[in-house]
C-alpha cells in the first residue's frame, strides 16, 4: 500500500512516500528533498561531490520522509528508484540503496525513468489517463511527448540547444539575479517591463514542434551589454519563453488530437507559464507543490503507476544508465 520513491539523479537527494488508495487513486504522504549546497562555490554540479553527499544524506532523508508519513520502514510495500538518466555515480547511490532496501524488506523493486517520474509528478493533482501530451521542461530537458497509451512515449519535439530551465539559469546569472535562475527571473519579472527588450520568437513558422532558447539567450546578452535592467530582461525573457512553450504545446495538442497537456519539470513551477496554460483551450495538469523540481515522491508516483498498470517488478541486477531516452521507439 505504501511505495517509497528515491531520486538521486543529480544534486538533490529525494525520498518520498506515496499511498495507493483503495479506490485506485494515489496520495503523496511524504516528500523530503535535501538540496546539496556544496556545489555553489564551483558554479556547477561536481559529480564526485554529488555522489558523496548522497551517500552521507540518504539515510537521514529517508528517516525524515518515513517520520513525515508516520510510518516505519517495515510498512513499505514497494521501492521505486531512478535508474537514469542522470549522473552515473549519483544514480548508483540511490539505486544501490533502493535495491538493498527492497531486498531487506523482501518487497518488489521498480527501476524508474527520471523523466517518467517528472511526468507522473502531475498524478499528485489529477489522475493521468492516456492519451495526453506531456511537456517536460526542466534543467536538462525541454521535451514534448505524445502519450497514446499508458507507458508509451512518442517524441514529438525537443530543444535544439539549451533546455528551458538552463536558459532561465543562464540569463539569471548574466543579469546577476543568482541561482537557481527560474525563481529569481520569475520574481524580478514582476518588477520589469516586458516590452523594454525585444525578444524575437524562436523557430517562427516551423512546421514541427521543436524548441530553441539560444536566440533568446543571445538577445538577452546583447540587451544586457546595452544597459537593460535585470528586471526588464527577466520580464521580456520570461514572456517570450512562456509564449513559445505554450504556443508549441498547443499546436502539438491540436495536431495529435489531445485535450490534456501534462506540464512538468522544474520550469512547471513558473507562475506565468501556469497562468498562460490555464487561459488556453487545453486541460493543463501540473505537479503539486514541491513536486516540480527533482524529488522522490514523483518516482514513487511512477512506481505506483507501474504497479497499477500491472508491470512486473525490475530485476535487482538492473543497472544505472547515464543516457536513456524515454521515447519508444527511439527516434
CA distance linking residue 138 with residue 167, whole number of Å? 10
CA distance linking residue 187 with residue 183, whole number of Å? 6
C-beta separation of 94 from 59 below 8 A? no
- List the interface residues with ligand ATP, window 250-289 (CB under 6 A): 265-267, 269-270
CB of 115 to Fe ion, least distance (A): 8
- Selection from 199, 219, 211, 207 nearest residue 244 by Cα: 211
Cα angle, residue 55 at apex, residues 53 and 59 outer, rounded to 5°: 110
- List the interface residues with Fe ion, window 110-139 (CB under 5 A): 138
CB of 67 to ligand ATP, least distance (A): 24
Q: Where are the alpha helices (DSSP H) in 42-189?
A: 47-69, 88-105, 114-120, 164-174, 181-189
DSSP-assigned beta bridge partners for residue 243 = none
Per the listing, cell 494515489 goes with 26
CB of 194 to Fe ion, least distance (A): 28
Residue 212, annotated ligand binder? no
Residue 232, annotated ligand binder? no
- Let me know how long the chain is: 331
Residue 242, annotated ligand binder? no
Residue 54, annotated ligand binder? no
C-beta separation of 175 from 234 below 8 A? yes
Only segment of 50-58, 69-77, 91-99, 292-300 that touches Fe ion (CB under 5 A): 292-300
Only segment of 181-189, 242-250, 255-263, 294-302 that touches Fe ion (CB under 5 A): 294-302
Residue 63, annotated ligand binder? no
Q: Closer to ligand ATP at the Cβ: 35 or 218?
A: 35
Instruction: Figure out which of the listed residues 34, 120, 168, 277 binds ligand ATP, where binding follows CB under 6 A.
Output: 168
290: left (phi over 0), alpha (psi -120 to 50) or beta: left
Instruction: Figure out which of the listed residues 169, 234, 276, 307 binds ligand ATP, where binding follows CB under 6 A.
Output: 169
Window 117-156: contact mask with ligand ATP (x via CB under 6 A)? -x-------------------xxxx---------------
Who contacts 50 (Cβ-Cβ below 8 Å, separation ≥6)?
Answer: 10, 11, 36, 39, 87, 89, 90
Q: Is the peptide bond before 329 cis (omega within 30 degrees of 0)?
A: yes
Q: Closer to ligand ATP at the Cβ: 99 or 118?
A: 118
- List the interface residues with ligand ATP, window 170-209 (CB under 6 A): 180-183, 186
Who contacts 226 (Cβ-Cβ below 8 Å, separation ≥6)?
Answer: none
Q: Where are the alpha helices (DSSP H) in 210-316?
A: 214-225, 230-256, 271-278, 297-308
The answer to the question of residue 211 lying near ligand ATP (CB under 6 A) is: no
Question: Residues in the site for Fe ion, rule: CB under 5 A?
Answer: 138, 294
In the annotated binding site for substrate, the residues are 136-140, 169, 182, 270
Feature table: binding site: 114, 118, 136-140, 169, 182, 270, 294
Q: Which residues are annotated as a binding site for Fe cation?
A: 114, 118, 294
Catalog residues that contact ligand ATP under the rule CB under 6 A: 10, 114, 118, 138-141, 165-166, 168-169, 180-183, 186, 265-267, 269-270, 293-294
Amino acid at each position: 500500500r505504501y511505495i517509497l520513491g528515491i531520486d538521486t539523479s543529480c544534486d538533490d537527494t529525494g525520498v518520498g512516500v506515496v499511498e495507493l488508495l483503495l479506490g485506485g487513486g494515489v496520495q503523496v504522504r511524504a516528500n523530503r528533498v535535501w538540496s546539496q549546497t556544496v556545489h555553489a562555490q564551483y558554479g556547477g554540479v561536481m559529480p564526485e561531490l554529488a555522489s558523496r553527499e548522497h551517500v552521507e544524506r540518504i539515510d537521514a532523508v529517508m528517516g525524515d520522509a518515513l517520520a513525515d508519513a508516520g510510518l516505519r520502514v517495515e510498512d513499505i510495500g514497494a521501492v521505486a528508484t531512478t535508474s537514469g538518466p542522470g549522473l552515473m555515480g549519483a544514480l548508483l547511490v540511490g539505486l544501490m540503496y533502493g535495491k538493498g532496501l527492497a531486498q531487506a524488506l523482501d518487497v518488489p523493486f521498480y527501476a524508474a525513468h527520471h523523466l517518467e517520474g517528472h511526468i507522473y509528478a502531475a498524478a499528485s493533482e489529477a489522475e493521468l489517463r492516456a492519451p495526453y501530451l506531456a511537456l517536460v521542461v526542466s534543467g536538462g530537458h525541454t521535451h514534448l511527448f505524445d502519450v497514446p497509451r499508458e507507458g508509451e512515449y512518442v517524441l514529438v519535439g525537443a530543444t535544439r540547444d539549451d533546455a528551458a530551465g538552463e536558459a532561465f539559469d543562464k540569463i539569471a546569472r548574466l543579469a546577476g539575479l543568482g541561482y537557481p535562475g527560474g525563481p529569481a527571473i520569475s520574481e524580478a519579472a514582476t518588477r520589469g517591463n516586458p516590452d523594454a527588450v525585444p525578444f524575437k520568437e524562436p523557430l517562427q513558422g516551423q512546421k514541427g514542434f521543436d524548441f530553441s532558447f539560444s536566440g533568446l539567450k543571445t538577445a538577452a546578452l546583447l540587451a544586457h551589454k546595452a544597459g537593460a535592467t535585470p528586471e526588464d530582461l527577466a520580464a521580456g525573457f520570461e514572456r517570450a519563453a512562456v509564449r513559445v512553450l505554450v504556443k508549441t504545446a498547443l499546436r502539438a495538442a491540436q495536431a495529435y488530437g489531445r485535450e490534456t497537456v501534462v506540464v512538468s519539470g522544474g520550469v512547471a513551477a513558473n507562475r506565468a507559464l501556469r497562468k498562460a496554460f490555464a487561459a488556453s483551450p487545453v486541460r493543463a495538469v501540473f505537479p503539486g507543490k514541491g513536486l516540480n523540481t527533482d524529488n522522490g515522491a514523483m518516482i514513487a508516483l511512477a512506481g505506483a503507476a507501474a504497479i497499477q498498470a500491472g508491470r512486473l517488478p525490475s530485476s535487482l541486477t538492473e543497472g544505472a544508465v547515464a543516457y536513456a531516452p524515454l521515447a519508444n521507439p527511439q527516434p
